[in-house]
Structure 1
């Protein structure tokens, strides 16, 4: 340990020798002595002096003046000064010493034990101050490292978000084209074999979309940006949709799909319908994947009615391969599956159930499972559903080509992907819309300058000029008929800030690819007006 430098200043050499001998037994000290105050000041400026024992009465400069000079200099004002005096013990001398900056007094003749005890006390105080100083330095370094780590983590988060946004856009765009073709083919005369192929294609595209949504949802949950959106919806219709959707998939595997309802279930409730569908779909899809024969049962049970509304449990039970008891805790963890060998055989990302668990927590619900190897598995989700105060409007179930026609609605489609543009235009023309197509934002602006449209359907990510910039340019036009023109963005981005940006620049609605024709039709009719609809 580094020794502490102690200065002894006294005009009498014999006093220095006596005091040095008295303090020699203190191992932590390195003693420097001077009889000349001016020389002592130079030492204090150039050496790391920590404690000074200063005589009061000296011919060239008294101790009070010496201490005042020390305390007035930034390089030496930290030195702890003990005044040593043989003059009167009157309070006025004590006060003068303390005012000059001294922290203690010793009176001659010095008591050896008291002198050593006081110096030890100051040495201990210096060590504590040094320790605090070092800890503060370490804390400052740690704070800088923490700030740097936070900045790096934020940079990594933003990089991941940008990557996921780009990945989502690049994958969703072709998926939207594929699913649009599927929608068109469903309205065409096809053979039974062709319908089966179409069903396989539809399932494959839906499965790919689920994987993309799982990755994005996991990222949003981890970053704290995931939002729960409560809304009124039809629980009865939700159960019927699950029955209709998965009965077909179960039939393809020669499995029985059974729907059970227990208790006086309400028709309409308030909940996040999209997240409920995500949870239940995940359970049933897993059962379909791991069940080779037998049945899959989807049970919806009313457990309780209280001030919070309805406590409802959704349970999916299968007769599949089952899961080992010691593997059950792993299945709700991200990127984990019950058994590596099973993963190789059946595939999967290991994200689904992890997202289900996190969704359940966000929804203030509960998930659980039980399983017997070779017998089957059971998964459940339960939560409180608020009571609905409104009846729900039902979406049309007929094919989109049978929707009421739109009377000569002039629509500009700005889309750089040829397949998406073609399929979107085809869909719009089945509703008797007049469609013009452009491939970038600049062409969209030029088209609007030449012609007034009832509606613009604008992709957000395009070359030359983005959809956002095109909307800004249109809204900045002097022509009120053109700058008030309704604009709906159709984007492959699912990031909340990008969707919010579309509304900020002037879009009436945001539709996410791949879109539902029902949703598109509904939004078009809401902005172009009822007078355009042919009954």
Structure 2
């Protein structure tokens, strides 16, 4: 509905305009008093005002100016009505004050109705735009709320995975540490075999935990490809040695074939390549009841200093129907519940393989025949690294683990078994170890003894690793403020790293702790500390 106000001191003109404009989509208001007209504009939400210019008490110009100056009525479309004798300056004055048009007496009702209809169309368009803008504002509000909810969900998911990681990796760290201790003991062949199976099962469980966490990292875009010098033959042999016990436990034969012309060293992300191949091999083992699994690595193409390598994993398993091949990389996709339940599957392995392959810029193909087997082929370009063999031998010789001398270390961890495992590991390197069961205990020990290095768990009761480090850096004596601090945890979130950098943590190591990584970290920090160059944050947790 359009509200129209007619203002003219001549009642006959008012009646004539009311009659001409009377229709269902218009609500008419009229007055012969310009002073009354201004109040009517506010009271009745007027859209269009037809105002005579020459009126007693208040001219049409004055009324127009008053309407435009009031925020409540400034949007009214005003049409001035005047006689033919009106001069150009007067017309310009009205338009300058905000009038949209003029009607000239004697009024031509056809022209009057046409002009009013034209203005009504503009008003309706303006209303539509206003409604759209209001809808847009509402959509923006809903979008912001959705983004906020998504961010809250992401943070909740991240915290959930972090907590789950901590709860699962903490006992796994203890188990793997105890296995490492037993491996250095004198055991007979049967005991070594049992220990090997225990070690493999633990690492398999750790792999499952990592799969779950990797999916979260990949989804969050936090997985980065880091290329380093990689001894491909050694990597493949290690992968096959790791997965062979599982194949043999099912009576399967696992063979690994590497063409002789494969470069000795390539630039690759060893961790991600390892994940891809182990997932493909373990997946093949899961769905194969008899026969064999084959890993074949060959060169598909060479260009300058780059090589296109093909990694093929074939099995003699149950196979996959052609119509289902497109679904196998979907997370949690169940091709057949009975088959999945019989063979056991989380639905994560192939999804991770596909995501990591895409992340590395490679290609992943699958071919399968039901009842005969499946072949997954992963291809990717790698830069060839030419190695100085003499220098490489020197590096191997110097990388031998040597006992430390006169090193006092403080180990802070709330888990008693983890303290035992890590203490045994450190004692084997001739390191004197003091233990603290929480952050406050660690801080109190630092006040009374000078340590060469501190190993500190991030998540501890009473006082966590971040707060403990802050207190050591700020409240200890000058002698102890600069102690190298290595933080470790079963779950290290990005906020932990940022807070660690802020308070002065020198390095991070993620549980389960690899002895070689821990030894290298301690050795590196001690050397840098003595040289006065310990100024870079080191991260061994990713």
Shorter-chain TM band: over 0.9
CA–CA separation in structure 2 for the residues paired with 1:341 and 1:377: 19
Aligned partner of residue 264 in structure 1, secondary structure: coil
* 1:203 has 2:191 as partner: no
Q: Distance in 2 between matches of 1:228 and 1:372?
A: 34
Aligned residues: 527
**Structure 1 residue 52 displacement after superposition:** 0.6
Given the alignment, which residue of 514, 517, 534 partners 1:516? Answer: 514
Quote the residue 1:276 is aligned against. 273
Checking the alignment, whether the CA contact within 8 Å between 1:395 and 1:518 is kept in structure 2 is no
| SS of match in other structure, 2:434 | strand
Q: How does 1:400-415 map to 2 (within 5 A)?
A: 403-415=401-413
3-state SS of 2:319 partner? coil
Aligned to 2:460: 462
Task: Choose from 214, 218, 223 the match for 1:221.
Answer: 218
Aligned to 1:178: 175
Quickly say closer, same or farther: Cα 1:530–1:155, change in 2 above 3 A.
closer
Distance 1:476 1:393 in 2: 43
Deviation at 1:353, TM superposition (A): 0.9
Q: How many angstroms apart in 2 are the aligned matches of 1:282 and 1:234?
A: 20
Q: Tell me how far 1:500 sits from its aligned partner.
A: 4.3
| More displaced 10-residue stretch of structure 1: 150-159 or 55-64 | 55-64
Query: In the alignment, what sits opposite 1:62?
Result: 59
Measure, in 1, the Cα distance between the counterparts of 2:328 and 2:81: 77
Residue number among 430, 433, 436 corresponding to 2:434 in the alignment: 436
Answer whether contact 1:232 1:390 (CA < 8 A) is retained: no
Q: 2:497 matched to which residue of 1?
A: 499
1:8 and 2:6 aligned: yes
Other-structure match for 2:538? none
CA contact (8 A) 2:315 2:374 kept: yes
Give 1:42 deviation, angstroms: 1.4
2:117 aligned with 1:102 = no
Q: Which moved more, 1:223-232 or 1:68-77?
A: 223-232
Structure 1 spans left out of the alignment, 5+ residues: none
Cα distance change, pair 350–148 in 1 and its aligned pair in 2 (3 A)? same
- Supply the distance in 2 between the matched residues of 1:75 and 1:528 (Cα, whole angstroms): 75
**1:482 counterpart SS class:** coil
Q: Distance in 2 between matches of 1:499 and 1:389?
A: 35
What secondary structure does 1:337 align onto?
coil
Question: After superposition, where does 1:350-361 map in structure 2 within 5 Å?
Answer: 350-361=347-358
Distance in 1, Cα, partners of 2:467 & 2:170: 20
Which range moves more in the overlay, 60-69 or 82-91? 82-91
Structure 2 gaps of 5+ residues are 531-542
CA contact 2:286–2:344 (8 Å) conserved in 1: no
Q: 1-side partners of 2:142 and 2:9: how far apart?
A: 51
Superposition deviation, residue 325 in structure 1? 1.5
User: How far apart in 2 are the matches of 1:385 and 1:236?
Assistant: 14
Matches of residues 294-443 of structure 1 in structure 2 within 5 Å?
294-306=291-303, 309-388=306-385, 403-443=401-441
Q: Is the 8 A contact 2:233 2:258 kept in 1?
A: no
Higher mean C-alpha displacement, 266-275 vs 127-136: 266-275
3-state SS of the aligned residue for 2:261? coil
Structure 1: distance between partners of 2:428 and 2:260: 44
For 2:106 and 2:483, locate their aligned partners in 1 and report how far apart those are by CA, in whole Å: 100
Q: Which residue of 2 aligns with 1:484?
A: 482
Matched, 1:142 2:144: no
Shift of 1:215: 1.6
Deviations 1:71-103 (A, max 9, x none): 111111110001111241421221121122211
- Residue in 2 that maps onto 1:288: 285
Q: 2:443 corresponds to which residue?
A: 445
Distance 1:530 1:505, change over 3 A: closer
> In 2 relative to 1, CA 386–331 (structure 1 residues): closer, same or farther, beyond 3 Å?
same
Q: 1: CA distance between counterparts of 2:381 and 2:260?
A: 15
Instruction: Return the offset for 1:491.
Output: 1.3
